[in-house]
A and B are shown apart, each in its own frame.
Chain A
Amino acid sequence: SQQGEEDPQALSIQEGENATMNCSYKTSINNLQWYRQNSGRGLVHLILIRSNEREKHSGRLRVTLDTSKKSSSLLITASRAADTASYFCATAPNTDKLIFGTGTRLQVFP
């Protein structure tokens, strides 16, 4: 069964706008990771946030984690056309594997 569920399933914005994607999960976790996938390619790791962290930044990316609500959000600021991709959250519960959500498809129009 899916551990992570992303919301929205699809998002369309103009260049320069911010994009926010949300992820909800069901069980306790060690960390939560966000990945990006360009069309027809593999996933690329973006950022990892540990269960004892509340916020993390990497360039134009900002990730928050609320373990009490079992949710995380990924914010991409000042989006560019090159940010067009699918974005996945992946949770690391106390087992030996990551569990991926179904992803958010982001379209950024020039």
Chain B
Amino acid sequence: DVKVTQSSRYLVKRTGEKVFLECVQDMDHENMFWYRQDPGLGLRLIYFSYDVKMKEKGDIPEGYSVSREKKERFSLILESASTNQTSMYLCASSPLPRSNQPQHFGDGTRLSIL
């Protein structure tokens, strides 16, 4: 079974801090995704990556950046955390081809920015 592991289930940070959320998958998937999930808004795509060192903006990239130095690891970075970034963050991976494959999700990181 595919396993997508997010480094923290719960995280509390302060406004202005630089925050790193880590995600690792063990199935050699090419595609990795970061979403945020908010009540009433569903899942919104922040960034995604098709290969090492490649990244593409999703629907809501502002205030975020990503890093993919190794195929199995995809990091989400909040450059200067703000209270409106309090949310549930979900990482997912999928194999090629790009858009048609089911995505495998981690259990999420519930991030609170105080």
Contacting pair B43 A45 (CB below 8 A): no
Near A by CB (< 8 A), chain B positions 88-114 give 90, 92, 98-100, 102-108, 110
Contacting pair B58 A2 (CB below 8 A): no
**Chain A min CB distance to B103 (Å):** 6
Q: Specify the main secondary structure of chain A where it touches its partner.
A: loop
**Does B78 reach chain A (CB closer than 8 Å)?**
no
Given the interface pairs A41-B107, A41-B108, A96-B48, the reply to whether A103 lies near B99 with Cβ below 8 Å is no
Contacting pair B43 A97 (CB below 8 A): no
Chain B contacts for A43, CB-based, 8 A: 43, 90, 92, 103, 105
**Chain B min CB distance to A84 (Å):** 18
> Can you show 28 pairs from A to B with CB atoms below 8 A apart?
A30-B100, A31-B100, A40-B107, A40-B108, A41-B107, A42-B105, A42-B106, A42-B107, A42-B108, A43-B43, A43-B92, A43-B103, A43-B105, A44-B105, A45-B103, A92-B99, A93-B99, A94-B99, A96-B50, A96-B99, A97-B48, A97-B99, A100-B35, A101-B42, A102-B40, A102-B41, A102-B42, A103-B42
Interface residues of A (CB under 8 A from B): 2, 30-31, 33, 40-45, 48, 88, 90, 92-98, 100-103
Interface residues of B (CB under 8 A from A): 4, 33, 35, 40-43, 45, 48, 50, 56, 58, 90, 92, 98-100, 102-108, 110
